[in-house]
Structure formats: structure tokens, C-alpha cells
Amino acid sequence: MYARGIPRPTLERLPRYLRALRRHEDAGEVFISSSRLGAEAGIEEFQVRKDLTHVEVTGRPSKGYPVGDLIAALRKLLGLTGQRDAIVVGAGRLGVALSQYPGFANYGFKIVGLFDSDPGKVGSVIGGLRVMPVDSMLEYLSHEGIAMAIITVPAEDAQGVADQLLEGGIKGIWNFAPVALDVPPDVYVRNEDLAIGLASLSYHVSRHRDR
Amino acid sequence: MYARGIPRPTLERLPRYLRALRRHEDAGEVFISSSRLGAEAGIEEFQVRKDLTHVEVTGRPSKGYPVGDLIAALRKLLGLTGQRDAIVVGAGRLGVALSQYPGFANYGFKIVGLFDSDPGKVGSVIGGLRVMPVDSMLEYLSHEGIAMAIITVPAEDAQGVADQLLEGGIKGIWNFAPVALDVPPDVYVRNEDLAIGLASLSYHVSRHRDR
DNA sequence: CTATGTGAAAAAGTTCACAGCG
DNA sequence: CGCTGTGAACTTTTTCACATAG
């Protein structure tokens, strides 16, 4: 019912509801129950109801939640209505993959700039984006008013890049470099160390063997 | 002190300790304190100590934790000593990026197979890996005894791929397709919807604007 | 009779504070 | 002393159960 201070785990689940809801909208369904929504998102139904408590939408007993309204409310809540442009710093394989990742468009996100420090990469056009020199990043940001950036540079360069992003007014950083970034508290950093994903698989698989 | 049932958040932090510890080992340091380790991993020191409770290593008052022993224990705990080969299904940009991601090698992980259903991709060699047809995957798995797989195919193909992986004896799946997979309970699935990352940034950035 | 919304209970995880060991 | 290890307090999140609304 309120929009502030949503629990982190809830926040991670909201996009999954949104995804499932869109399929229902496409199918022309007007209401969806928490149990149905949960089944599609892989989440328990009472968790769904609890999560939706944080959204400005109320369900109807015997019917469920209004699909269209819920989508609109989730989009608003997740900030998917405002400025959604982001840049990628680091035109390696991962940076390139992310800069063209089709899944982002589904949420209205657009990668509008791709930067690299390698002169051999700068100037080339990758998937419709021209690779720009990192040196020009600050100037670029000062013109464009972009709030989100993705870092896919090597660990040793990440802090330097982050410093420039901050100077350029970036308020949210998705950091794929395996290093802890030092930023002021008003800037949100989401760390995504891909190796942790494999390590996690590895742990579970090895426990599996032990049994 | 025990190795079973480690809390999920702890498990996600262990690889970060491992990363920091290796830097210390390289620097020739024999002991490290929880405060130092925490600072490098970006984690509070009491959290570090609590987490290390789950590891078969004990620190020494006034000195800290033995770096070498701790590394060995973490590696063992995370299953980084056994079979660490994995395959990638889906040779799109993301699949290719992951199949060559240098960060995996740091943990001893190796991507040994790359599969795709597109005949136009099959047969080409990408970063030393030959793209193999998905049709041959089951046979491949039955020979190789691989336990981990990464799915980067489109959402609509993901369940079909997962079914084949299960049949091939895969016990851990890292799923980048934005869909909930249906698998038996003894198979571990880690879902990684990249759009959630951007949505999360977006939420925090938009709250930032509101203030 | 079905499905929401929510207090209350339970579980999980974090933080603290400090006893105790080298 | 310095730094670990951990019980206990606290906080957050999940789970449950059920009154309530259409």
C-alpha cells in the first residue's frame, strides 16, 4: 500500500511478476489470482500477496488482481516510466552482450552509449552503437543526463571508471567487475560477480555428489 | 565449524572472501584479520567472523586467520576441488561471453562445450570452442559426466533445453532465460534474469530523483 | 464459495558486545 | 592487549491461518 522502503527480496521478485503479467495481458486476461501469478513466477501464493501489499493496487476477492492496473503500478514503482537510458563501460564480450541484450528492451531500458579505453575498439560500430573513448565519457554524461551505468571493465580499472561515472552524475551502477567499489552513500551499486554464480552451482552440485 | 546447510547469504559471500584471500596469498601474507578481510571484500568484520564459522578453519586470537588454510577450506567447501567443467547452451552474444568469461578460470571453472540449435552457428569455432548442435547434447553429456550447465537460450526454448540437460545427468543449472524452470527437487537451479538487475538500478535511481 | 489482505508466529539473518585465548 | 568466536538481541523476511469482502 505504500511505495517507500520496499524489502529487497520483494523488489527482486516484482520484475518477475511483471514478466508473467505481461503474458496474461497478451492473452487478453483481465484478472489473475495470486496462486496463478505465483505459479508462473515460481513463487508461493502467500508471498505474492504479501509482495503486492507494497503496490498501489488492490485485488478483488473471488477474482484476483486486475492485470492492467497491476502492470501499470509495477512499472511506476520500479521506475520504468521515467528516464531509462543507460551506458555500458567496457566493450569486451560481456559489455557487448549486455549492450545488445534483448531482455532490457522488454522493460523499456535502452543502452545508449558504449565506452572503452582500447583505441583498437573505439570507433567501431557494434550492434548499432559506436564505441566511444572512455576519455570522452564525462563530457558525454554531462550532456545526456543519464543516471545508470554498467561497468564491465577489468577489476583494476573499475574504481577509476566508477569515479568518472560519479563525476558525470551517475546515480546507479551495476558493477560486473569483481571488486568492491567505493562510492558515496547516495549512489546505488549493485555488484554482480558472475563467478559467484558458478561457485554457487558448484557448491550445490558437490553437496549433491556427497549424498 | 560444520559444512552442511550454509545460509544462502553466507554462501554468496564466501567467493568474495576467496578472491580477497588470494590477493593476500600472492602478497605472501600468512595471516589476515577479519577486519582486514572484511574491508577488502566490502563486508563488515563481524559478518566475516560469523560467516567463517561455517568453514573448517579457526582463526588465532591476535593474529587472524591462516590465509593458506582458509583458501583451501573455502575451495573445498565451495566444491572447487572436484569436477568443475560446465557447458553453455545458447551461442548468442551472452552465451559466447559467458563461455569465454575470464573470471571463471580464476575459480578453476572451465566451459568445455557450447551448444546451439541454429545450423548457421553450429560448426563455427568461437574462442577455441566449436559450437555443437543441441541435438547432440544428450550424447555428449552421457560421455562426459558433466554436472553443470548454463542456459542462455530464448525463454520459449529454455524448458526444452532443461529437460534434455536433466536427462543428460546435469545437477546444476544456471538459467539466464527469463522463465521459471520446472525441474526435480534434487537439481539446483539458479535463476539469473539480467533485466532484474537493471530494474533494481532503475528503482533506486528513481527513488533518488524523488527526494 | 473463492481469493484477498493482514495480524501473528516462525524462521532466517544481522548486529552487537564481550568473554576468552594466545 | 588484539582478535577470534559466539550467545543474545535485534531486525528482516517468510510462512501461516483466518477474518473479510464480493
Do B174 and B142 share a structural domain?
A: yes
Give the pLDDT score at B199: 95
Q: How many Å from the CA of B59 to C1' of D6? A: 13
Specify the amino acid at residue B205. Answer: V
Contacts of B166 in chain A (CB under 8 A): none
Q: CATH number, domain at B182?
A: 3.40.50.720
The burial class, CB within 10 Å (0-12 / 13-18 / 19+), for B35 is middle
Q: CATH number, domain at A53?
A: 1.10.10.10
Tell me which residue of B164, B158, B142 sits closest to A19, measured CA to CA: B158
Q: How far is CA B53 from CA A32, A103, B61, in A?
A: 45, 39, 15
Contacts of B104 in chain A (CB under 8 A): 194-195, 198
Q: Is the residue at A204 inside a domain? A: no
Last residue of a domain, one of A22, A47, A77: A77
Inter-residue contact B104 to A198 (CB < 8 Å): yes
Q: Which positions of chain A have pLDDT values less than 50?
A: 1-3
Do B47 and B67 share a structural domain?
A: yes
Do B101 and B184 share a structural domain?
A: yes
Contacts of B109 in chain A (CB under 8 A): 195, 198, 202
Give yes or no for residue B210 having a pLDDT over 80: no
CA distance B22 to A64: 52
Q: Is the residue at A2 inside a domain? A: no
Inter-residue contact B173 to B151 (CB < 8 Å): yes
Do A189 and A110 share a structural domain?
A: yes
- Is residue A196 classed as helix, strand or coil in its secondary structure? helix
CA distance B173 to B171: 7
CA distance A165 to A169: 6
Instruction: Nearest chain A residue to B203 by CA: give it.
Output: A78
Q: Is the residue at B94 inside a domain? A: yes
CB-based contacts of B56, cutoff 8 Å, min separation 6: B1, B3, B73, B76, B77
What is chain B's alpha carbon radius of gyration, rounded to the nearest angstrom? 20
Inter-residue contact B150 to B95 (CB < 8 Å): yes
Q: How far is CA A154 from CA A157, A161, A176, B207, B209, in A?
A: 6, 10, 9, 30, 30
Q: Is the residue at B204 inside a domain? A: no
Tell me what the mean pLDDT of segment B130-150 comes to: 97
Contacts of A107 in chain B (CB under 8 A): 195, 198-199, 202
The 10s digit of each residue's pLDDT in A59-70 is: 999 999 999 999
Per DSSP bridges, beta strands A125-126 and A129-133 are: antiparallel
CA distance A129 to A140: 14
Do B99 and B44 share a structural domain?
A: no
Do B71 and B32 share a structural domain?
A: yes
Q: Is the residue at A29 inside a domain? A: yes
Give the pLDDT score at A70: 98
Do B97 and B70 share a structural domain?
A: no
Query: pLDDT band for position B48 (50/70/90)?
Result: very high
Work out if A61's Cβ lies within 7 angstroms of strand C: yes
Judge: B197–A178 Cβ closer than 8 Å, yes or no. no
Nucleotides of strand D lying closer than 7 angstroms to a protein CB: 1-7, 12-17, 20-22
Q: How many Å from the CA of A70 to C1' of D22? A: 19
- Is residue B25 classed as helix, strand or coil in its secondary structure? helix
Do B52 and B14 share a structural domain?
A: yes
What is chain A's alpha carbon radius of gyration, rounded to the nearest angstrom? 20
Work out if B53's Cβ lies within 7 angstroms of strand D: yes
Which residue in this structure is represented by grid cell 570452442? B129
Percent of chain B with pLDDT over 70: 98
Task: List B130's β-bridge partners, or say none.
Answer: B125
Domain extent, residue A98, equals 85-196
CA distance A149 to A134: 13
Query: pLDDT band for position B1 (50/70/90)?
Result: very low
Work out if A200's Cβ lies within 7 angstroms of strand C: no
Q: How far is CA B76 from CA B4, B88, B153, in A?
A: 12, 24, 31
**pLDDT-wise least confident of B21-25, B157-161, B206-210:** B206-210
Do A100 and A182 share a structural domain?
A: yes
Give yes or no for residue B6 having a pLDDT over 90: yes
Last residue of a domain, one of A77, A108, A126: A77
Q: How many Å from the CA of B189 to C1' of D5? A: 34
The 10s digit of each residue's pLDDT in B81-132 is: 988 999 999 999 999 999 999 999 989 999 999 999 999 999 999 999 999 9
Count of domains forming chain B: 2
Last residue of a domain, one of A77, A103, A137: A77
Half-sphere exposure of B61 (CA within 13 A, CB side): 0
CB count within 10 Å of CB B20 equals 23
